Amino acid sequence: SGSSAPQAHAGEPDARAGAARATSGSGAGGSGWSHQYLHLKSWHPLSYKNREKVFQAEQAAVARARRDADAAREFAENAEFFKNTEALAAKDRASARYKRELAFMYQKPPGFDAALEKERTEKAEAAARDAETKRAAEETAARLAAGLPPLSEEEILRRKKRKMRKDADGRNVAAADAFPELAGAPRLAPRGG
């Protein structure tokens, strides 16, 4: 026939149809176009910067709503106060309004109670440390007065951590290796016997 366009045979697919299938993602031949790059575009709603702008706008709206609610509450409290003071005499009304205007001066600043509590705990901790230091100094003085050598910090910690054995009466029993300075000391005879 006189046409110059190639004819597709019945068993062969048309080349243009195959190209269309490859770009559309349908069909078995191709994987289709990937749209993964779109979130990198500045105009795409899922780009990081656009999501960040949306988040910031939402946070600003919440803060604005909270601020408006606080202002409305404060306005309603003031309106209620002025409505209640209208029934008072002019002198009493002026006195009540003056007290209300200056009331902020007598309120504690924010965080004052927390600062006081922190100061109290710091003082209590310092007092406990001072008491421990004083007790250790007294113990060292007593050891020196008895003719015993003073204990080092490591020895004090080791003695605090060890478990003492108990005798039949429930008293602590010192092992000979725990107190080397008592190695030659006389032992008490057991009770009851």
Task: Find, among 59, 42, 61, 62, the residue nearest to 50 by Cα.
Answer: 42
**pLDDT tens string 115-142:** 999 999 999 999 999 999 999 889 888 8
**Tokens standing for 63?**
């803060």
DSSP strand pairing (172-173 vs 165-166): antiparallel
**pLDDT tens string 55-95:** 999 999 999 999 999 999 999 998 888 888 887 888 888 88
pTM for the model? 0.33
**How many alpha carbons fall within 13 Å on the CB side of residue 43?**
0
Average model confidence (pLDDT) across the chain:
79
The answer to whether the CB of 87 falls within 8 A of the CB of 81 is no
**51 Cβ partners below 8 Å, 6+ apart?**
45
